[in-house]
Structure 1
Amino acid sequence: MVDPTTLPWIEDASEKVKIIRQRIQTAQSRQKSYTDNRRKDVEFEVRDRIFLKITPLKTSIMTGKKKKLKPRYVEPFKILQRVGSVAYRLELPLNLSRIHDVFHVSLLKKYHPDPTHVLQPEDSEIDKSLTYKEQPVQFLDRKVKELRRKKIPLVKVLWRNHGVEETT
């Protein structure tokens, strides 16, 4: 009877298994270091305001918009309570009562209050039908677009109740 540990092909196979295990361990530790660099432990306090990341399935429920126009995060909600180590209960408005109010920390983003988020209504003359008349203030640019048989004059107009970025 032959001792199986003395056969050369068994020794070669066990050496290859050791090398494979070592390479797998190296690859796993490399991938772990990549994910650890991106991972951040996020914690919130009760009564903090946070944005909620919405999934495509809940988009139409929460915003009424679909596909391209949907926002990634929706309005700042108030945290009511911490549930476990990685979940929070949020104060949702009545129109979102069909959605469960406990969310994982990966779906939340801290809201940093910024005065530029608050839009001040501009003074404009609104008539009884809740409309106002657009009036041009200044012509900013003028050019002629030439097609094969036509020339189309184009004018860039600054309107009265709008900023420079809203010129047409």
Structure 2
Amino acid sequence: MTDLSLVIRPERPEDAPAIERLHARAFGPGRFARTAYRLREGAAERVDLGITASVGSFLVGSVRMGPVRTGATSFVMLGPLAVDPSFAGRGIGGTLTRAAIEGARQAGEGLVILVGDAPYYARFGFTPVPPGRLSLPGPVDPARLLWLELADGFSAGASGLVEARGASL
């Protein structure tokens, strides 16, 4: 990341169009078919937990958190995490992930889940969800369903189908 004047800051509502363009560049049209995107459909993001990365006026990265629940247990889902392909491999994704986790912790969240690459997310403390504990509304490779407990013992209450919930700002 040397030679970049990278600015990491909280997401603002006016960032939404630039974030959508970033998602199109980073993920392409196939993103809409993924289970994680289907879970987010119609759900409000926790804009208070979103983080962006910019170089000058160009948005080069973004991570969002979405409010989810299983039964009465509410927590957040990390994603999407997107970095502009021309800025990949410079540590921006890791910087955004760490900032998002810390934001969720400071907001009092007890658990963060995501669908992603276990070797990549292990460095942040994510581990595979134990078999049979959580399910998503669509197909997901169980090895890619990960969680990070932010409050000791919180995951004991998380079991069942994960559903989107309205944002609580």
TM interval, short-chain normalised: under 0.3
Greater RCO (Cα-Cα under 8 Å, separation 6 or more): 2
Give the number of the structure whose alpha-carbon radius of gyration is greater: 1
TM-score, normalised via structure 2 length: 0.23
The normalised TM-score by structure 1 is 0.23
